[in-house]
Amino acid sequence: MNQAHLHMVFNHFPIIGLFFGIGILAYGIFKKQTILVNTAYVIFIVCMIMAKATMMTGEGAEEIVEELGISHDIIHEHEEMAETFMKVLYGLGILSILGLVANFKKHSKAAIVSYVVLVLAIGSAVLSKNVGTSGGEIRHTEIRGNASVSNTSGTNHHEESHDDDH
């Protein structure tokens, strides 16, 4: 397994985890169930850790795909988005740790922390979509904004043959 493979394995955890965490946190806030809120906090902390692992494999992945002839510009754009996303995830992870502590100590501001974490998590999820898409565009040219469908052969490959055998 090389750095590019590890990068692709790790990068799905923070994105998918954020969406699960948001759902669990929102439901926990709505039902006033601290155990669900704490579960969401742990998910966000794991997302932060997995995003850091993704960042740590990014440089090696970049070297590999550049050798395959991929433009440095598209990689650089993805890298810039990922760095911004990581900063937001650090904030989300730290706030989640504070939220856990506040819940365990039954602090009067624990509920406020959960709302702030929810808003930050939603913002993180939006960023994660953009980072994930820009990363996918590196090797999947079919999802780029400038991709187009063209049929240069002029034939439809699904046409049936109509042979008369009379």
Closest of 78, 86, 91 to residue 131, by C-alpha: 78
Distance between alpha carbon 27 and the CA centroid of its chain, in Å?
A: 21
Q: Using one digit for the tens of pLDDT, what is the confidence trace for 65-93?
A: 888 887 778 888 889 999 999 999 999 99
Return the CATH number at 122: 1.20.120
Residues 104 and 116: their CA atoms lie apart, in Å, by 18
Distances (CA, A) of 62 to 66, 67, 106, 116, 121: 6, 9, 45, 34, 27
Residues 103 and 1: their CA atoms lie apart, in Å, by 40
The answer to whether position 156 is within a domain reads no
Residues 39 and 25: their CA atoms lie apart, in Å, by 8
Task: Decide if 23 contacts 125 (C-beta within 8 A).
Answer: no
Q: Using one digit for the tens of pLDDT, what is the confidence trace for 98-147?
A: 999 999 999 999 999 999 999 999 999 999 999 988 888 887 766 566 66
Number of folded domains in the chain? 1
The answer to whether position 108 is within a domain reads yes
| Number of neighbours of residue 157 by Cβ within 10 angstroms | 6
The answer to whether position 151 is within a domain reads no
Question: Does pTM surpass 0.85?
Answer: no
Output the six-digit token pair for 106. Answer: 């039954």
The answer to whether position 155 is within a domain reads no
The answer to whether position 111 is within a domain reads yes
The answer to whether position 152 is within a domain reads no
pLDDT grade, residue 7 (50/70/90)? confident
Domain extent at residue 43: 3-139
| Number of neighbours of residue 81 by Cβ within 10 angstroms | 18
Which helix (H) or strand (E) element contains residue 10? helix 3-10
| Per-residue DSSP letter, 143 | G
